[in-house]
């Protein structure tokens, strides 16, 4: 099934039995990584990408692989490339930390309204980039055009779908095949970053606390010192495989590379 699956937005990688990483493709509508876990009697999705069309592909393959609808959807943090596909999962229970919920509610409506009100401006900008590309081919520019095209497709029907359930420190999901622990140690990359840990398989979905083979993104809200503290605590856990918010699937060794980068900021 995985061999036949194709999406222009992401590649799907089986990390362990019942655990799948959806790794964003450059220029697609995903932007950030996502994934899903088959708990046995329930399916849990981690993050929902930047567009509905990418999230639709994720939902489709999750249902095909697990033979059941998605029960739970987790938003690791409030940034758009991890939550803007939420509306595809209206029938599922979307979960985030209380802080993430509040930031989504406070900050996204105005951002989305502004983007929706200037779709023509986006079209004009895409056209200008295409003209530039016609003068001299550039792969990065081509990827940017594809990415902006996915944004243009998504905006007319984009709806902000807020989490239906929140947590403060941690939540545990127990299935017939495996369990999963959702927790936050506070904010480092964003105001609040959540991690999903599957102890039986020693796998962690890290969200944007981890970047692999790519430079970590720092924003005004980011706190490098706290980010480092969180990663050092996670280094103490029994983690063999780490699914980052951006880049290929990594290991605990990649934590140190992010720490070293942050220490220089």
Residue 219 lies inside a defined structural domain of this protein: yes
Torsion region of 247: left, alpha or beta (phi above 0 gives left; psi -120 to 50 gives alpha): left
Residue 175 lies inside a defined structural domain of this protein: yes
Q: Are 201 and 19 in contact (CB under 8 A)?
A: yes
What CATH number should be reported for the domain holding residue 61?
3.60.15.10
Q: Are 122 and 114 in contact (CB under 8 A)?
A: no
pLDDT digits (tens, 9 = 90+) for 43-78: 999 999 999 999 999 999 999 999 999 999 999 999
Rounded to the nearest angstrom, the gap between the alpha carbon of residue 92 and the centroid of all alpha carbons in its chain is 17
Which sign does the torsion angle of CA 142, 160, 91, 83 carry? positive
Residue 126 lies inside a defined structural domain of this protein: no
pLDDT digits (tens, 9 = 90+) for 145-157: 999 999 999 999 9
- What is the full per-residue pLDDT of the chain (265 aa) written as tens digits? 666 789 999 999 999 999 999 999 999 999 999 999 999 999 999 999 999 999 999 999 999 999 999 999 999 999 999 999 999 999 999 999 999 999 999 999 999 999 999 999 999 999 999 999 999 889 999 999 999 999 999 999 999 999 999 999 999 999 999 999 999 999 999 999 999 999 999 999 999 999 999 999 999 999 999 999 999 999 999 999 999 999 999 999 999 999 999 999 8
pTM of the entire structure? 0.96
Residue 136 lies inside a defined structural domain of this protein: no
Domain range for 186 is 10-104+160-263
Residue 37 lies inside a defined structural domain of this protein: yes
Residue 133 lies inside a defined structural domain of this protein: no
**Number of structural domains found in the chain:** 1
Residue 52 lies inside a defined structural domain of this protein: yes
Task: Find all residues with CB under 8 Å of 154, minimum gap 6, and list them.
Answer: 29, 50, 51, 52, 53, 84
């Amino acid at each position: 099934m995985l061999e036949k699956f194709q999406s222009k937005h992401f590649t799907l990688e089986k990390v362990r039995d019942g655990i799948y990483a959806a790794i964003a493709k450059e220029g697609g509508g995903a932007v950030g990584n996502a994934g899903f876990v088959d708990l046995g009697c329930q399916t849990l999705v981690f993050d929902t990408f930047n567009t509905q069309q990418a999230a639709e592909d994720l939902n489709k393959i999750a249902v095909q692989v697990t033979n059941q609808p998605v029960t739970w959807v987790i938003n690791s943090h409030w940034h758009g490339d991890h939550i803007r596909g939420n509306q595809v999962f209206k029938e599922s229970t979307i979960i985030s930390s209380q802080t993430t919920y509040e930031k989504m509610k406070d900050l996204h409506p105005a951002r989305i309204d502004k983007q929706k009100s200037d779709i023509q401006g986006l079209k004009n900008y895409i056209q200008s980039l295409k003209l530039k590309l016609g003068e001299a081919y550039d792969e990065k520019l081509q990827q940017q055009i594809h990415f902006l095209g996915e944004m243009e497709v998504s905006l007319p029907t984009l709806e902000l779908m807020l989490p239906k359930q929140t947590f403060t420190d941690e939540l545990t999901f127990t299935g017939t095949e495996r369990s999963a622990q959702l927790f936050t140690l506070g904010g480092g990359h964003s105001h609040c970053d959540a991690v999903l840990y599957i102890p039986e398989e020693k796998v962690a979905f890290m969200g944007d606390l981890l970047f692999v083979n790519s430079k970590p993104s720092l924003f005004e809200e980011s706190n490098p010192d706290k980010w480092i503290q969180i990663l050092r605590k996670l280094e103490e856990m029994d983690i063999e495989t780490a699914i980052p918010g951006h880049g290929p699937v990594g290991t605990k060794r990649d934590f140190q590379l992010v720490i070293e980068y942050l220490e220089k900021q």
